[in-house]
Amino acid sequence: MTYRSGYGFPAEVIWDRQRMERLFARKWFFAGMRGDVPNKRDYLKFQLFDEEYFLIHGNDGVIRCYVNRCAHQSARLVKGEAGRCAARIVCPNHQWAFDPNSGQVVHASFMPEGFVGSRECDEFGLTEIPLREAGLMLFACLGDAAPENEMDLIVETIAPYMDPFAKAGHGYKQAYHHREILDASWLMAMLNNRECCHCAQNHKRLLSLFDPSSFNGEHTPDYKARLKAAQARWEDKGLAWQEQAFNTSENIRISRYPMGEGFKSQTFDGELASQKLIGPFVDGEADEGTLSFWLNPNAWVHFVSDHIIANWILPLSENKCAFYTSWIVHEDAVEDVDYTAEHMKEVWLVTNAEDVGLCQSMTEGARSRYYKPGPFAPPEQFCTQFADWYMKASL
């Protein structure tokens, strides 16, 4: 099978794990939000292919990404999905200790005096992989030659939209985190994410937050009017709203769009999920809009007036992937006073669970000996964008 633009991936591409690995060694992938590790020594663990990594917020305020493996006898350094380390990262096996800022060995139990700090010891520090921030978002790359200019363009493209949140003068923190292993190809999961033709039947509750014509097909006159009014409002507030459809950076789509009338947040009841508004929004003046980022190769992130929902997917093999979601709020929001995780997380837990079923189903079907790539419909244009991009970027 050869690839044809406008159709799904050839079978041999879907099951080519080396190709997937090449992509993640060449491209910056979404790895979490600064709000996932807001304080010094906070860490967030993640898995990519057979490897475990963790983000850690250094004592110098810089967030870094290390391989989760002690160089002494290979034990895992951090255990839970997320947590806070001691001042040094201490291996639970033999208590070797590492500096979170440099990854260097600062204590090597039972080793002869003089070992720590020696040239040999240098070889046994933590393995670090490149990590960069773009506003509130963190991007990593597995390869040594991570393309810095591509990351520069991501930062630039995102800035006008993100800055009102990133430079608002307050911090952010995780309100809730969910992760799940899917028996699904990461490629199928991304195709599912890149179209909303499946939404009408599969995400009925999510769609209740929006005008039915906002995602697919022709906008209704009513919605056009709402959208125009909203754009004028955003203009007034100095909020960027111009659509970016993988045109400035081929890694990024950005859209700002109104929610249904009276919806102050992405909640099923339309009420605020958190009483502390974030970024440019002033308490009591929530905006009825959502700012969304769809990022190649692996994420979609939604900003509303009171919280941020970050979704990202990382392949574990050609058959499995890990699906991460973080709900991020104002650093001063107090659980059970300003927000409850229960109320906040419902929309995306429900929606993502619906997608998980579809992604697994598509993966099973793609495994069929009768598989052949199917055609994307015009409103599935971003599937075509993703497939074209992947074919080229992973070559």
Q: How many Cα atoms are found within 13 Å in the side-chain-facing hemisphere of 65?
A: 25
206 binds its own copies (CB under 8 A): no
Environment class of 140 (CB within 10 Å of its CB; exposed 0-12, middle 13-18, buried 19+): buried
288 binds its own copies (CB under 8 A): no
Dist CA 250 CA 67 (whole Å): 29
Environment class of 331 (CB within 10 Å of its CB; exposed 0-12, middle 13-18, buried 19+): middle
Maximum pairwise Cα distance, the chain: 77
Q: At what angle do helices 381-393 and 186-193 cross, to 10 degrees?
A: 140
From 151-159, 160-168, 342-350, 375-383, give the range in contact with its own copies by CB under 8 A.
Answer: 375-383
Among 33, 63, 71, 272, binds its own copies (CB under 8 A): 71
Among 337, 353, 379, 392, binds its own copies (CB under 8 A): 379
320 binds its own copies (CB under 8 A): no
Dist CA 37 CA 85 (whole Å): 11
20 binds its own copies (CB under 8 A): no
How many other CB atoms sit within 10 Å of the CB of residue 344?
25
Dist CA 231 CA 268 (whole Å): 24
Among 289, 380, 384, 386, binds its own copies (CB under 8 A): 380
Binding-residue pattern over the window 91 to 110 for its own copies, x denoting contact by CB under 8 A: -xxxx------------xxx
Among 120, 180, 283, 285, binds its own copies (CB under 8 A): 120
Cβ closest to its own copies, residue 144 vs residue 336: 144
22 binds its own copies (CB under 8 A): no
Residue listed under structure tokens 């600064």: 34
Cβ closest to its own copies, residue 268 vs residue 371: 371
**Contact indicator for 292, 258 with CB cutoff of 8 Å:** no
Rounded to an integer, what is the distance from CA 66 to the centroid of its chain? Answer: 18
Among residue numbers 39 through 68, which ones bind its own copies (CB under 8 A)? 50-52, 67-68
Among 114, 218, 284, 369, binds its own copies (CB under 8 A): 369
Planar angle of CA 208, 361, 321, nearest 5 degrees: 90
Integer angstrom CA distances of residue 260 from 226, 236, 344, 346: 9, 20, 17, 17
What is the closest distance, in whole angstroms, from the C-beta atom of residue 186 to its own copies in the complex? 15
What is the closest distance, in whole angstroms, from the C-beta atom of residue 354 to its own copies in the complex? 10
Q: How many Cα atoms are found within 13 Å in the side-chain-facing hemisphere of 242?
A: 9
167 binds its own copies (CB under 8 A): no
178 binds its own copies (CB under 8 A): no
SS3 351: helix
Dist CA 71 CA 203 (whole Å): 46
What is the closest distance, in whole angstroms, from the C-beta atom of residue 378 to its own copies in the complex? 7
Cβ closest to its own copies, residue 195 vs residue 288: 195
116 binds its own copies (CB under 8 A): no
117 binds its own copies (CB under 8 A): no
Among 74, 86, 221, 336, binds its own copies (CB under 8 A): 74
How many other CB atoms sit within 10 Å of the CB of residue 302?
17
127 binds its own copies (CB under 8 A): yes
Cβ closest to its own copies, residue 86 vs residue 236: 86
Two tokens at 141? 């790359």
18 binds its own copies (CB under 8 A): no
Cβ closest to its own copies, residue 69 vs residue 343: 69
Interaction site with its own copies (CB under 8 A):
8, 50-52, 67-76, 92-95, 108-112, 115, 120, 123-124, 127, 188, 191, 197-198, 200-202, 216-217, 358, 361-372, 374-375, 377-380
